[in-house]
Amino acid sequence: MSSLNLDDFTDLIERPDGGVRRDAEARRERQIVPPGALGRLDDLGEWLAAAQSAVPVRPIEQPRVVLFAGDHGIAALHVSARPAGTADRLVRAVLEGATPAAVLARRLGVPLRVVDMSLDCDPDGLPDEVVRHRVRRGSGRIDVEDAITLEEAETAFRAGVAVADEEADSGTDLVVLGDISVGGTTAAAVLVAALCGTDASVVTGRGGQAIDDLAWMRKCAAVRDSLRRARPVLGDQLQLLATVGGADLAAMTGFLLQSAVRKMPVILDGVVSAACALVAQRVAFRAPDWWLAGQNSGEPAQAKALDRMALEPLLDHGVIVGEGAGALLALPLVQAAAALSAELPEAPEPEPELPASEAPGAESEAELPE
Which residues are tagged catalytic?
323
β-bridge pairing 291-293 and 112-118: unpaired
At 268, the amino acid letter reads: L
Radius of gyration of the chain (CA): 25
Rounded CA-CA distance 158/133 in Å is 10
The answer to whether the Cα torsion of 65, 147, 291, 327 is positive or negative is: positive
Rounded CA-CA distance 252/267 in Å is 13
What kind and span of H or E run contains 67?
Answer: strand 63-71
Cβ atoms of residues 49 and 26 within 8 Å: no
Rounded CA-CA distance 87/347 in Å is 53
Please tell me whether residue 102 adopts helix, strand or coil conformation.
helix
What kind and span of H or E run contains 34?
Answer: none
Torsion angles phi and psi, residue 272, rounded to 5: -70, -50
* E strand segments, 242-357: 266-268, 291-293
